[in-house]
């Protein structure tokens, strides 16, 4: 402990030293525990405290002073040391307070900036005639500003205008009519004439094409309507009539449902439309495609005095029937809000649109790898054309569930609830899930084949990239049968052409997930494995990086590398390019060239023969084990070249309207098989002009039941 020398022969000097020691005590006690200075200072201050507050320590200090009374330089050193430490303590204290104040100021500044941004946002909910309870309910769900379609239609709807609204999928069309309708019923033009009490007829009727979409819109009306004291019921097929009839008998403000079930209730006399204030058609174009034209027109025609009803029509596309409906049932003074217009791009702009060649037999093997590489840990929806295909694929994929029209409604609701909550992350569905379903964190859409119409592609891909988020839409296609250019041209999408994820792509994707799992292991278990880790490192003969790479692979469950072809995405197959120094006009001609220098069994093993876009070559797949035999065989044929492809060239597309090889052509099988049997194993060849051989039918009369192509 350092000595504190005081001059006994000078009372002034003694008083001066006592004042300094008291000053140190005040400084020490004013600091929080975390700011206590270093050990040296603590010791000196303790001596001062003991000298003042402890009689025993005073005696000890006097003895020490006598012992060192002749060493004034120590006194100077001690005082100098103390005086050096004190400013450091003060500085630390002031620095902490300054940092704390700076952080508070920074937080206040950020909050102020947010408030200013809200005030300046022209689409902020406070800028619209939205009542406080409804604004609070929106805020509780994370909504403080309206989307463009909502902002652009709100005032027109609230002011009583008939309206046609069009926006891309995922842009919030549902709330575009929910919010102004609720405000009109409680605080706007429709309030005065709205009936209340038991048995009241509905003021709002909303028609939707699917049960799932009806339930979703019902949920929005229910959540926001309850904040304003309004009640809603949902009517759809596959559910019991009795609860629906009971709700209607008690009286409701809003009826949401599908055309078929609402028509049934009207015919049963359960719905009175005489006091209707709003009628809404949501996803009107899908109602046309699903065959609800007559039902929709019958329901809309039940309103006798159309001048007292406000009609709203929302859709992502506007086919002729939708335009006809708007002309027939909406007032001539109707407003049209079109956020798509004549823009070439009709699909979502927040989505990465990818096409990938794949044979039918490789779909179930390929999809898990696509999910690993492109889902980013989010949810995935896989679309198929047929219900049987959805069931089969859901059974092949670990943890997936199917959703289609033949599943009972109660089970469909359980499935959607589980998908939304994250109980499972992959949903395999038909178009029943393509329209309007708003599910958070759907990162990836996979379409097992190109859909029958462009609108279906737009809506399927629109299940991701919603509400300003981004997503990925992957469409698998058979290069010889699918006309990708038609979808690209009519939807405005610029497809990104890729091939199946290869070993390095998959390893990179799963390696990131595995690394996260490893770093999340508790530090408490590490000592128990240190000895085994050291032995492994010392005795394996591998470097630390190599061992860690193996650990990542094992953690990810990826211990076997499988190559995939570029053309059909089949495992352990390789894509070859055939050139013969002259144009190759047909696949049959390419097979003829191969027969010049290869045994028949090797030619029979060829998969997916396709022609290059320039007409000078043909590409096909062979088993990886046969590659050497094919490359060696070419030496026996003049002017013939075979090479292993590292990148797939542009291929000829089949014109499905005429048949690529001779007109007509209603080819069946492959991805869009309608002949029954296994969805992923081909079917019957098409009819029409052209040619067919034992392996393939390109619009001819041949049958190819045994070959998946």
**What is the structure's pLDDT at 620?**
96
**What is the structure's pLDDT at 645?**
93
Angle made by CA atoms 145, 151, 157, in degrees to the nearest 5 = 130
Residue 536 has pLDDT above 60, yes or no: yes
**What is the structure's pLDDT at 270?**
94
Confidence of residue 661 (pLDDT cuts 50, 70, 90): very low
Residue 649 has pLDDT above 50, yes or no: yes
Q: In terms of C-beta distances under 8 Å and separation of at least 24 residues, what long-range contacts does 506-513 make, across chains too?
A: 506/369, 506/372, 506/373, 506/558, 507/553, 507/558, 507/561, 509/372, 509/373, 510/372, 510/556, 510/557, 510/558, 511/552, 511/553, 511/556, 513/377, 513/556
Identify the weakest region by mean pLDDT among 76-90, 296-310, 371-385: 76-90
Residue 337 has pLDDT above 50, yes or no: yes
Beta strands in 580-650 (DSSP E): 607-611, 617-623, 641-644
**Per-residue b/e over 485-518, b at no fewer than 16 CB within 10 Å?**
ebbbeebbbebeebbbbeeebbbebbbeebeeee
**What is the structure's pLDDT at 93?**
58
**What is the structure's pLDDT at 456?**
83
- 555: tokens are 């953690």
Number of neighbours of residue 304 by Cβ within 10 angstroms: 10
Distance of CA 487 to the CA centre of its chain: 22
Find out whether 24 and 86 touch, Cβ atoms under 8 Å. yes
DSSP state of 354: E
**What is the structure's pLDDT at 261?**
95
CA atoms within 13 Å, Cβ hemisphere of 609: 24
Higher pLDDT, 695 or 427: 427
Q: CA 704, CA 669: separation in Å to the nearest integer?
A: 9
What's the pLDDT tens digit per position in 365-377?
A: 899 999 988 988 8
Task: Tell which phi-psi region holds residue 690, choosing left (phi > 0), alpha (psi between -120 and 50) or beta.
Answer: left
**What is the structure's pLDDT at 462?**
84
Find out whether 615 and 583 touch, Cβ atoms under 8 Å. yes
Rounded average pLDDT over 200-223: 92
Identify the weakest region by mean pLDDT among 160-169, 177-186, 399-408, 431-440: 431-440
What's the pLDDT tens digit per position in 608-648?
A: 999 999 999 999 999 999 999 999 988 888 889 999 999 99
DSSP state of 326: H
Rg (CA), the chain: 38
DSSP state of 145: B
Q: Characterize the bridge pairing of strands 351-357 and 442-447.
A: unpaired
Rounded average pLDDT over 462-481: 86
Q: Which residue has the tokens 């999408």?
A: 493
Neighbouring-strand partners of residue 314: 165, 282
- 677: tokens are 């049997």
Helix or strand holding residue 411 (H, E): helix 409-421
Rounded average pLDDT over 96-114: 61
Length of the chain: 709
DSSP state of 124: B
Phi–psi pair at 509, nearest 5 degrees = -65, -50
Find out whether 706 and 678 touch, Cβ atoms under 8 Å. no
Find out whether 359 and 610 touch, Cβ atoms under 8 Å. no
Give percent of the chain above pLDDT 90: 39
Residue 207 has pLDDT above 50, yes or no: yes
**What is the structure's pLDDT at 567?**
93
Rounded average pLDDT over 644-667: 61
**What is the structure's pLDDT at 621?**
95
Sheet containing 442-447: give its strands across.
400-403, 426-429, 379-383, 442-447, 471-477, 351-357, 496-497
- Domain 125-338 matching CATH 3.40.50.300: the answer reads yes
Confidence of residue 653 (pLDDT cuts 50, 70, 90): confident
SS3 sequence of 154-202: HHHHHCCCCEEEECCCCCCHHHHHHHHHHHHHHHCCCCCCCCCCCCECC
Is the C-alpha dihedral spanning 428, 434, 437, 438 positive or negative? positive
Find out whether 91 and 37 touch, Cβ atoms under 8 Å. no
Identify the weakest region by mean pLDDT among 147-151, 200-204, 211-215, 478-482: 478-482
- 401: tokens are 């569930």
Q: CA 10, CA 305: separation in Å to the nearest integer?
A: 111
Find out whether 419 and 452 touch, Cβ atoms under 8 Å. no
Rounded average pLDDT over 671-682: 39
What's the pLDDT tens digit per position in 568-604?
A: 999 889 999 999 999 999 999 999 999 999 999 999 9
What's the pLDDT tens digit per position in 185-195?
A: 999 888 888 88
Distance of CA 235 to the CA centre of its chain: 29
Rounded average pLDDT over 330-336: 93
Residue 527 has pLDDT above 70, yes or no: yes
Confidence of residue 64 (pLDDT cuts 50, 70, 90): low
Give percent of the chain above pLDDT 70: 73
Closest CA to 77 of 87, 68, 88: 68
Residue 138 has pLDDT above 90, yes or no: yes
**What is the structure's pLDDT at 20?**
52
Closest CA to 264 of 283, 245, 287, 286: 245
Find out whether 610 and 619 touch, Cβ atoms under 8 Å. yes
Find out whether 444 and 472 touch, Cβ atoms under 8 Å. yes
What's the pLDDT tens digit per position in 314-325?
A: 987 777 888 888
* 3-state SS, residue 360: helix
- 615: tokens are 């007409």
**What is the structure's pLDDT at 6?**
38
What's the pLDDT tens digit per position in 235-248?
A: 998 889 999 999 99
DSSP state of 54: -
Q: CA 285, CA 290: separation in Å to the nearest integer?
A: 9
Number of neighbours of residue 436 by Cβ within 10 angstroms: 25
Residue 198 has pLDDT above 60, yes or no: yes
- 198: tokens are 């038991």
Find out whether 209 and 290 touch, Cβ atoms under 8 Å. yes
Identify the weakest region by mean pLDDT among 58-72, 267-281, 383-397, 675-689: 675-689
**What is the structure's pLDDT at 564?**
87
Residue 666 has pLDDT above 50, yes or no: no
Closest CA to 426 of 460, 392, 387, 400: 400
What's the pLDDT tens digit per position in 436-456?
A: 567 878 999 999 999 888 888
Number of neighbours of residue 418 by Cβ within 10 angstroms: 13
Please, which residues have CB within 8 angstroms of residue 389's CB and are 6 or more apart in sequence? 448, 679, 680
Note whether 125-338 and 352-501 share their fold. Answer: yes
Find out whether 474 and 447 touch, Cβ atoms under 8 Å. yes
If one looks up domain 573-644 in CATH, what number appears? 3.30.70.2280
Angle made by CA atoms 34, 35, 36, in degrees to the nearest 5 = 95
Distances (CA, A) of 351 to 236, 471, 493: 32, 5, 10
- 297: tokens are 């027109």
Confidence of residue 72 (pLDDT cuts 50, 70, 90): very low
Distances (CA, A) of 283 to 169, 316, 435: 10, 7, 7
Q: What is the mean pLDDT of the chain?
A: 78
**What is the structure's pLDDT at 505?**
78
- 145: tokens are 């500003």
Distances (CA, A) of 434 to 60, 168, 283: 89, 13, 11
**What is the structure's pLDDT at 234?**
96
Higher pLDDT, 49 or 297: 297
Higher pLDDT, 393 or 553: 393
- Domain 352-501 matching CATH 3.40.50.300: the answer reads yes
Q: CA 606, CA 570: separation in Å to the nearest integer?
A: 12
Distances (CA, A) of 191 to 36, 184, 194: 68, 6, 5
Closest CA to 345 of 448, 444, 465: 465
Find out whether 418 and 439 touch, Cβ atoms under 8 Å. no
Residue 343 has pLDDT above 70, yes or no: no
Domain ranges of the chain: 125-338, 352-501, 504-520+535-561, 573-644
**What is the structure's pLDDT at 106?**
64
Angle made by CA atoms 397, 402, 405, in degrees to the nearest 5 = 155
């Amino acid at each position: 402990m350092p000595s504190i020398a005081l001059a006994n022969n000078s009372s002034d000097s003694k008083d001066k030293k006592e004042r300094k020691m008291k000053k140190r005590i005040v400084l020490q006690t004013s600091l929080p525990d975390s700011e206590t200075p270093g050990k040296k200072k603590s010791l000196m201050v303790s001596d001062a405290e003991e000298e003042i507050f402890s009689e025993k320590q005073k005696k000890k200090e006097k003895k020490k002073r006598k012992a060192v009374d002749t060493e004034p330089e120590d006194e100077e050193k001690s005082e100098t040391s103390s005086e050096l430490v004190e400013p450091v303590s003060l500085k630390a204290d002031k620095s902490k307070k300054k940092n704390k104040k700076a952080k508070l100021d920074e937080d206040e500044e950020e909050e102020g900036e947010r408030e200013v941004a809200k005030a300046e946002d022209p689409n902020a909910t406070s800028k619209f005639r939205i009542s406080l309870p409804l604004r609070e309910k929106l805020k509780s769900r994370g909504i403080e500003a309206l989307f463009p379609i909502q902002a652009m239609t709100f005032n027109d709807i609230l002011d009583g205008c008939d309206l046609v609204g069009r926006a891309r999928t995922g842009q919030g069309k549902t709330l575009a009519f929910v919010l102004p309708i609720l405000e009109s019923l409680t605080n706007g033009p429709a309030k005065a004439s709205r009936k209340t009490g038991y048995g009241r007829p509905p003021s709002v009727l909303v028609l939707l094409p699917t049960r799932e979409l009806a339930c979703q819109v019902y949920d929005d009306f229910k959540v926001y309507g309850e904040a304003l004291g309004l009640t809603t019921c949902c009517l759809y097929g596959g559910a019991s009539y009795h609860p629906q009839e009971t709700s209607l008998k008690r009286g409701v403000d809003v009826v949401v449902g599908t055309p078929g079930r609402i028509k049934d209730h009207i015919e049963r006399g359960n719905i009175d439309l005489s006091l209707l204030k709003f009628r809404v058609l949501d996803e009107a174009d899908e109602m046309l495609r699903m065959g609800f034209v007559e039902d929709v027109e019958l329901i809309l025609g039940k309103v006798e005095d159309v001048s007292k009803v406000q009609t709203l029509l929302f859709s992502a596309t506007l086919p002729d029937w939708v335009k006809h409906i708007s002309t027939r049932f909406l007032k001539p003074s109707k407003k049209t809000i079109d956020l798509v217009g004549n823009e070439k791009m009709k699909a979502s702009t927040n989505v990465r649109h990818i096409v990938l060649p794949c044979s039918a037999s490789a779909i179930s093997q390929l999809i898990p790898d696509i999910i690993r590489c492109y889902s980013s840990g989010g949810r995935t929806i896989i679309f198929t054309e047929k219900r049987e295909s959805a069931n089969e694929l859901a059974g092949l994929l670990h943890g997936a569930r199917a959703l289609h029209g033949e599943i009972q409604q109660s089970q469909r609701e359980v499935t959607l609830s589980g998908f939304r909550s994250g109980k499972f992350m992959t949903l395999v569905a038909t178009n029943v899930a393509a329209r309007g379903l708003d599910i958070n964190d759907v990162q990836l859409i996979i379409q097992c084949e190109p859909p029958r119409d462009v609108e279906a592609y737009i809506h399927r891909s629109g299940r991701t990239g919603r509400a300003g988020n981004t997503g990925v839409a992957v469409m698998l296609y058979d290069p010889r049968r699918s006309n990708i250019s038609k979808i690209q041209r009519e939807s405005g999408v610029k497809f990104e052409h890729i091939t199946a994820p290869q070993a390095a792509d998959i390893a990179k994707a799963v390696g990131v997930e595995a690394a996260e799992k490893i770093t999340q292991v508790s530090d408490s278990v590490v000592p128990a494995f240190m000895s085994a880790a050291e032995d492994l490192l010392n005795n394996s003969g591998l470097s630390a990086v190599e061992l860690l790479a193996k650990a990542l692979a094992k953690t990810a469950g990826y211990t076997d590398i499988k190559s995939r072809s570029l053309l059909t995405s089949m495992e352990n197959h390789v894509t070859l390019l055939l050139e013969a120094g002259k144009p190759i006009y047909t696949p049959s001609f390419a097979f003829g060239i191969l027969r010049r220098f290869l045994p028949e069994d090797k030619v029979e093993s060829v998969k997916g023969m396709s022609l290059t876009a320039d007409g000078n070559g043909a590409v096909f797949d062979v088993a990886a084990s046969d590659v050497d035999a094919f490359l060696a065989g070419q030496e026996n044929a003049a002017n013939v070249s075979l090479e292993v492809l590292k990148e797939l060239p542009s291929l000829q597309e089949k014109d499905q309207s005429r048949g690529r090889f001779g007109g007509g052509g209603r080819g069946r099988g492959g991805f869009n098989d309608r002949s029954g049997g296994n969805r992923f194993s081909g079917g019957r060849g098409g009819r029409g002009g052209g040619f067919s051989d034992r392996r393939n039918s390109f619009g001819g009369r041949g049958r190819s039941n045994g070959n998946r192509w």
